[in-house]
Structure 1
Amino acid sequence: MKFVKDQKRTNYCGELSSQNVGQSVTIMGWVDSRRDHGNLVFIDLRDREGIVQVVLDPNKTDTTTAKDFRGEYVVAIYGVVKARPDGMKNAKIKTGEIEVEALRCEILNTALTLPFRPEDDNVNEVLR
Structure 2
Amino acid sequence: MDPALQAVRAYAARMSAQAILRRLRLLPEGSPARALLTDVHRLHTLRGLLPYVADLVRYGYLSADLGERIPSAIDEILTGLLPHIEPLVSAFLVPEEFLGQVPIASDDPLTWFDDPEGPWHSLGR
Bigger helix fraction: 2
**Greater CA radius of gyration, 1 or 2?**
2
- Please indicate, yes or no, whether the TM-score normalized by the shorter chain is above 0.5: no
Higher relative contact order at CA 8 Å, sep ≥6: structure 1 or structure 2?
1
Structure 1 length as normaliser, TM-score?
A: 0.20
Structure 2 length as normaliser, TM-score?
A: 0.20
Bigger strand fraction: 1
